[in-house]
Chains A and B, each alone.
Chain A
Amino acid sequence: MKMIKLIIPFILIFALALPTYAMHLTEDKVIDRELTVEKDENVVDNSINGVSKERPSKTFIMSLPVYLKRAVLPFLMLFSLGPICLALECGIKEHKRKSHSQ
């Protein structure tokens, strides 16, 4: 339990730092140029979840690194916290079991 208590603050710091990292990413240039979409009050821009699909056409190969950098890597960093915790818990349990048996 001591080990978990020691690790939890670091995990929380990591979890709070990550959105900051993502926020910095938002300041960067994500795509080459901005689209100026003229909006009518009753017309939507063919979007799902509020994001328009009218993007500059890019090839798959060109877009993939941007996709990995902006969306996948920070997500995987955050998502990996769960498995890390599970692994730590299992390790601690096993260590306890071993020390108890000895």
Chain B
Amino acid sequence: MKAYKPKTSNSSIALRYALMSLCLSSVCHAVIFDHLSDKISYDRRSMLIILFNIVSVGMMSLFSVFAEKVENKHTGVRLSALLTVLGYYLPTDFGIDLKVVLLGLGSACFYAFASSSILSRSQGKSREIGLLLGGSGIGIACASFAGFAGHFFAPLLMIFAIPSDKYENAPENGTKTVFYEQKTAEKVPFLHLSLLFLPLAYLFLSYEFSSFHFTWNVYFKTQFQLLLMMGLGRAIGGFISDLIGRVTTVAASAFGGTLLIFFCSDDKRLSLLGLFLLSMSLAPTVTAFTRLMPKHPAFSFAIMSASSYLGQTLSLFIGFKDISMLLVSASLIMIVISAEMPFLTGSEKTEVYENEDD
């Protein structure tokens, strides 16, 4: 196997996808927040949001299978931008359901292809996927703050979808296809337990994020701050994880964030700091799971998104709010990440090679 490094930086591609993620997320949620806020009953609105999530996360599984086979992944990203913009500008007379389904399909297609492209290049680094997740979070924050955000972000999304010359020369699109695969999945101790517990931990974490009930969160401004801090935490968590290590980041963020939210939920600043810290654990957790399934990076991302969806909707249906579940989720993440400790610290050998099958 011959070691090979690409000539172009992956950061530019990751940044482009992060910005696209911001635009797409903002466009989708702007439609949901704007059109469904006052005209439709509460239950109908809830079910439409669930419908959007069902389509966007459920179809991600199918798109991820195609994404792993396609050489030029940006084609899929372009298709997703087209679907999203089509869904956004579709007149409401055709039905809000169709609008939501189109937006969901666009979102599914984008995250499948973008995560496949990013994760197949990331070599176990969390910063790229952190940027993607952070972009999504900040997009939701923008949409929650201003309903007209979609008018601004929809054309921007199309602009980002147009490839530049530099992008076209990226390795995945050139004559020489390069993939990074780590044959390390079988070396992870308690692999099956990790495969089970990591999505479970993510589910609990997502449930907690959706069911936080802060007394100070009563204005649009505070709601925006809350979502913004969560998005920033996701984005910065990836960078910090690459600097100080995945285990340290997850340990610091999970326990620090849990303690702050658990004991200082009435204090706005400390709660926001706690949310920021807790969000930092998302990118390393997704990367950890991706490394358990190195041959299917996009599908592993889809599984983690599914866990997130199930946790989020659980909070909509079940009014069981207990902040102590946060301790359970933080402990689960720590157990699984700790199980990887020998693999991460000692015997890790990253094998970078050219995938000759493709």
Contact = CB atoms under 8 A, between A and B. Distances in A.
In this complex, the member of A67, A71, A83 whose beta carbon has the largest number of chain B beta carbons within 10 angstroms is A71
A82 B49 contact: no
Interface in B187-233: 209-214, 217-220, 223, 226-227
A6 interface: no
Interface in A41-85: 42-44, 46-53, 55-60, 63-64, 66-67, 70-72, 74-75, 77-83, 85
A18 B49 CA distance: 15
Interface in B159-193: none
Main secondary structure of the interface of B (DSSP, over half): helix
A67 B315 CA distance: 10
A52 B47 CA distance: 12
Nearest to B310: A72
Given A26-B44, A74-B54, A78-B59, A19 B319 contact: no
Contacts of A7: none
A57 B319 contact: yes
A51 B45 contact: yes
B49 A63 contact: no
Interface residues on B, range: 35 or more
Contact of B320 (A44, A60, A82): A60
Interface residues on A, range: 35 or more
Interface in B24-49: 29, 32-33, 36-38, 41-49
Given A43-B219, A74-B54, A83 B43 contact: no
Interface stretch (B15-23, B60-68, B250-258): B60-68
A30 B47 contact: yes
Nearest to B34: A50
Interface of A: 11, 15, 18-19, 22-23, 25-26, 29-31, 34-35, 37, 39, 42-44, 46-53, 55-60, 63-64, 66-67, 70-72, 74-75, 77-83, 85-86, 89
Interface of B: 29, 32-33, 36-38, 41-51, 53-55, 57-65, 97, 101, 104, 140, 144, 209-214, 217-220, 223, 226-227, 296, 299, 302, 306, 309-310, 312-321
